[in-house]
Amino acid sequence: MEIFIIIVFSIAIWHFIYESLIAPNLRLKIRHDLFVERDKLYAIKISDDINEVDKKAIEIIDQNIKFMKVRISEITLNSLIQFKKLYESDEKLRSKIDNIELKINSSKNTNIKKIDKKLSRIATNAFLINSGGWLMYLLPFAIVKAMLTDLIQSAKRISREITIIPNHQFHNMQTRRFA
């Protein structure tokens, strides 16, 4: 019982430290990364060699950056699950998102596309940061899953090898085990 209390207390301390100290600083870094990408986007915007398609893509990405700056801490597993359900059930939303992606991808400017890909990585990082407090809860399950996956792979390999072994060698192996 004492060990259980120590484990629970340790997890609670980790969660407190992560959510109150580590995650806010990591979110601040994400905000900084968003400002850097926004500045790159504005540098492209003021250059003379952009067309209307590029301007539209820049406008969309700029809106995405503004949204992410405000909603960094809300990119969680729950919000992703809710979005997935909404996306799958709402044809209008899917069409709108596909249209937005088409506008960004139709830009010939590779720097605009790089910024868009960087925003995707930043959003993924935000999700991971916002899920970091759960790491201590999920880590034991991940370890067990990895161990079971390895065990199953080994069992498949050995099962295959055992079906190939000649009968007399299998019999010798069995008798050695009990001898």
In angstroms, the CA 121 to CA 77 distance is: 16
Is the per-residue pLDDT at 45 higher than 60?
A: yes
* Phi, psi (rounded to 5 degrees) for 166: -60, 150
- pLDDT of 129: 92
Band the pLDDT of 78: cuts 50, 70, 90: confident
Average of per-residue pLDDT values in the chain: 86
In angstroms, the CA 27 to CA 111 distance is: 24
Is the per-residue pLDDT at 40 higher than 80?
A: yes
Which residues, 6+ apart, have CB-to-CB distance to 6 below 8 Å? none
| pTM beyond cutoff 0.75 | no
Two tokens, residue 23: 């995650």
- pLDDT of 165: 62
Residue with the bigger pLDDT between 170 and 102: it is: 102
Is the per-residue pLDDT at 14 higher than 60?
A: yes
Share of the chain above pLDDT 70, in %: 88
Which residues, 6+ apart, have CB-to-CB distance to 67 below 8 Å? none
pLDDT (tens digit per residue) in 113-146: 999 999 999 999 999 999 887 777 777 788 888 8
